[in-house]
Amino acid sequence: MDRFQHYIDGRFEDAAEGFDSLDPATGTAWARMPAASADDVCRAVDAADRAFAGWAGTTATARGKLLYRLADLVAEAAPRLAALETRDTGKIIRETTAQIAYVAEYYRYYAGLADKIEGAHLPIDKPDMEVWLRREPVGVVAAVVPWNSQLFLSAVKLGPALAAGCTVVLKASEDGPAPLLDFARLVYQAGFPPGVVNILTGGPEAGHALTTHPKIAHIAFTGGPETARHIVRSSAENLAKVSLELGGKSPFIVFDDADLESAANAQVAGIFAATGQSCVAGSRLLVQRGVKDDFLARLKTKAEAVTIGAPGAMETEVGPLCTARQRERIDRIVAESVAAGARLVTGGRVPDGPGFYYPPTILDCSDTPNAASVTEELFGPVLSVVAFETEEEALRLANDTAYGLASGVFTRSLTLAHRMIRGIRAGVVWVNTYRAVSPIAPFGGHGLSGHGREGGLAAALDYTAVKTVWLRTSDDPIPDPFVMR
């Protein structure tokens, strides 16, 4: 089997313990991964802490040049990284190839932004004072990412943190960490000083040791709400700043005046791409009743025409789920929803054969809007459909969730679109499109979808702290030391 190593303080090293990583397409072990102990985590944090002063003192221009170098290396290594991600997570090669090529653009964006993180001069109300604000890096960052889209979800943390002058300990998910452990080679080749970036993987012990470490100043987490709750509780130990990018149960709203063919294509991409394993998956279709039957017929045809197969084949459109436990949970919730009255339009049956496959599945839940498939994030290729009559009902249904990450609106009416944009409680609203991203545009949510933003200038500022500087310009003695000036 292939063997992977941790990257700590500029060195590649084995761990005392390890675990096998399974190929989701076959269910068989293909690689041996290192499992970080609490000791390993402490060494990584200590290395990041030692490196912090030097890295923060490096000019912003120099930091930017290293990020540009990293971007070029990511672009060059995209085929290898894509193949590793496909092998270790089951994500189809056509998606990993395109996504990783675009990840390089995130590093380029933050490379260019590094020397544009500015302070400010304050027009203070005291004539003998000059007052200005400095933006300084917060310190050591703990970045914790899930297995899905891990290179992308790392870039939106590493890019702004490194540009701001922070050092980072990145914990990859124990489910499919190969691409990030291999990415460490690029960090090394780019020439980042030892300790500036450290990459390891492991289970709950490693995660707890990292998020509770007293030298951690900022925790950037992407994952599920339950793990986020543990992280928030852990942060009480070090009072670290916490940013959370969590899951979603995103509404995909189709009005009767929409271009139905375009909307159907976007909906298929929004729920079945990445086998539904995306935090912004459009898993709740809200469709106006007058076009429901037509729209469902289009979706059924498209879902049943999807090519399911080996994730490494370029013709495959839907691959396996990442883990067996995911598939078991999805299959159970689909069965419960059907038992509660949801109508199975297509899919919904675990196929025979090896691997963790599950077919594109559509459930008509118009008569059971509180079915589990409608309310719970499944993280799989399952679409729950609920019909609505009026704009007001569509908005009520869209906001009837504890999540608030993403949403989609399909209509030809500009005024209707603007009303929906104002009314939907979500961090992202796509209108007549879905799943579009850019390093320039921030994303994030609220409620069970977390808080904070990733991408854009806002993310870089999030890794800084403001220092206020007061400079007295008068040469006269301070007249009265007991009077505040």
Catalytic residue at 365? Answer: no
364-374: b (≥16 Cβ within 10 Å) or e: bbbebbebbbb
3-state secondary structure 74-108: HHHHHHHHHHHHHHHHCCCHHHHHHHHHHHHHHHH
166 is catalytic: no
Pairwise CA distance, residues 31 & 36, whole Å = 16
Six token digits for residue 415: 């005024």
Q: What angle do CA 120, 121, 123 make, to 5 degrees?
A: 135
Q: Mind spelling out the 3-state secondary structure of 434-453?
A: CCCCCCCCCECCCHHHEECC
Q: Which residues contact 418 (CB under 8 A, 6 or more apart)?
A: none
Straight-line distance from the first to the last Cα atom of the chain, in angstroms, rounded to the nearest whole number: 70
Pick the catalytic residue from 166, 279, 322, 365: 279
Options 245, 317, 377, 454, the catalytic residue: 245
Q: What is the Cα 235 distance to its own chain's centre? A: 20
Which long-range contacts does 343-348 make (Cβ < 8 Å, 24+ apart)? 343/367, 345/296, 345/299, 345/300, 345/385, 346/300, 346/303, 346/304, 347/303, 347/381, 347/382
> CA Rg, the chain, in Å?
24
Give catalytic residue positions: 245, 279
